[in-house]
Amino acid sequence: MRVIAGKARRLPLKTVEGLDTRPTTDRIKETLFNILQNDLPGIRFLDLFSGSGGIGIEALSRGASQAYFVERNRAAVSCIRENLAFTHLEQQAVVFSCDVLAALRRLEGEKPFQIIFMDPPYGKGLEQEVLEYLSAHRPSFLNADTILIIEAKLGTDFSYAEEIGFSVMRRKEYKTNMHVFLQLA
């Protein structure tokens, strides 16, 4: 895994050994950031279920002014910190070593994020739980322009999104997973 583009371009990133995290492949990451490229300069980026931090680091490398990383796995948090130091992006980063909902509670009252990315463990319903929380606490996290992106297993049902205040704007499908883009309805 590596940084695809920007000021940390081509730098290799460490990943966590084992099956507890699922790093987004370089090809899928490149596709995602080609979609987001024009939205990145100067933004606040929130990376939930960060794993080794590759998505948030890519956002920083491509021009995001600040990225928040949320990961509860201690080995993954160490990996994020090492990757941030290696890419010289640690001054623009805030790392939370805790559960996603605990981190969101700590972030309440701050300015909204322009992009929120999450890659929760598949099949546990965590994306719906987080979306419900974000919807209930909108001013702390979202505005009309905020883009939410969820990496999920191909075929994951998002029919509930409209009921809790989100519109599915786009789906990008890959072989086994997909990115679902949402905004406030």
pLDDT tens track, the chain, 185 positions: 877 878 877 777 888 876 455 667 778 889 999 999 999 999 999 999 999 999 999 999 999 999 999 999 999 999 999 999 999 999 999 999 999 999 999 999 899 999 999 999 998 999 999 999 999 998 889 999 999 999 999 999 999 999 999 999 999 999 999 999 999 99
pLDDT of residue 36: 95
Residue 4 has what pLDDT?
80
Domain 26-174 part of CATH 3.40.50.150: yes
Residue 21 has a pLDDT of 57
- Helix (H) / strand (E) containing 69: strand 66-71
Q: What amino acid occupies position 163? A: E
Q: What is the pTM of this model?
A: 0.93
Where in the chain are the domains?
26-174
Q: What is the DSSP letter of 24?
A: P
